[in-house]
């Protein structure tokens, strides 16, 4: 049987985000390794193409990112088009191939995204002094343990130490500290530990 697994933007987060980020797309492109997908290039109109996702770039003059999609035209020629990552539909579906395992792509992308986030938290934790930590959790100024959150981005991983604050009947998250680790710095640390860069 030939099958596939659709990859949803919300699969990457615990808070149900339905828009793609550059970090999510970076990991998906790597896992796809040239495999064709169904990509909705405009979530508003629903316009969808069969394409190979090749790489990301920062949108010239803006703070957003674009994904380079290669499509095949009816006459056999290929066309490459840059699409805004934020405008893509929530689902990207790898096309099934005879004897192939397109379903593995989703799990490879999710595993590498989560692994990168975990390695970034480990690196930040290693930079903290022992008196700042309790059982591996950063202590805020009130002495309460913070949860770690890490978000892979296009060129870095953003790490936050987050505490919950109660104000009467309301509670909210407060960032106690944050770090931005460039991918090169994370890869250098991995190489020192003997992990593949």
DSSP per-residue codes, 174-185:
EEEEEEEEEHHH
Percent of the chain with pLDDT over 70: 93
The mean per-residue pLDDT over the stretch 146-166 comes to 91
pLDDT over 50 (residue 187): yes
Ranking 129-133, 140-144, 157-161 by mean pLDDT, the lowest is 140-144
pLDDT at residue 192 is higher than 60: no
pLDDT at 173 over 70: yes
pLDDT value at 168 more than 60: yes
The domain segmentation of the chain, as residue ranges, is 7-96, 115-192
pLDDT digits (tens, 9 = 90+) for 58-103: 988 888 999 999 999 999 999 999 999 999 999 999 998 766 777 8
What is the value of pTM for the model shown? 0.86
Q: Taking phi first (over 0 means left), then psi (-120 to 50 degrees means alpha), and beta for anything else, what does residue 33 get?
A: left
- Among residues 85, 96, 129, 133, the alpha carbon closest in space to that of 1 is found at 96
Q: Give the percent of the chain with pLDDT over 90.
A: 60
CATH 3.40.720 correct for 7-96:
no
């Amino acid at each position: 049987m030939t099958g596939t697994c659709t990859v949803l933007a919300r699969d990457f987060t615990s808070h149900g985000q339905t828009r793609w980020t550059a970090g999510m797309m970076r990991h998906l492109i790597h896992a796809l390794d040239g495999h064709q997908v169904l990509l909705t290039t405009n979530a508003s109109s629903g316009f969808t193409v069969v394409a190979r996702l090749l790489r990301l770039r920062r949108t010239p003059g803006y703070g957003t990112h674009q994904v380079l999609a290669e499509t095949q035209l009816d006459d056999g020629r290929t066309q490459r088009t840059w699409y805004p990552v934020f405008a893509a539909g929530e689902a990207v579906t790898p096309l099934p191939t005879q004897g192939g395992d397109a379903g593995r792509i989703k799990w490879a992308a999710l595993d590498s995204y989560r692994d990168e986030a975990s390695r970034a938290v480990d690196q930040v934790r290693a930079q903290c002094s022992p008196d700042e930590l309790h059982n591996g959790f950063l202590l805020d100024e009130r002495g309460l343990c913070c949860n770690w959150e890490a978000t892979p981005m296009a060129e870095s991983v953003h790490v936050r130490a987050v505490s919950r604050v109660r104000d009467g009947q309301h509670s909210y998250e407060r960032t106690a500290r944050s770090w931005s680790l460039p991918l090169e710095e994370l890869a250098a640390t991995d190489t020192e530990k003997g992990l593949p860069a």
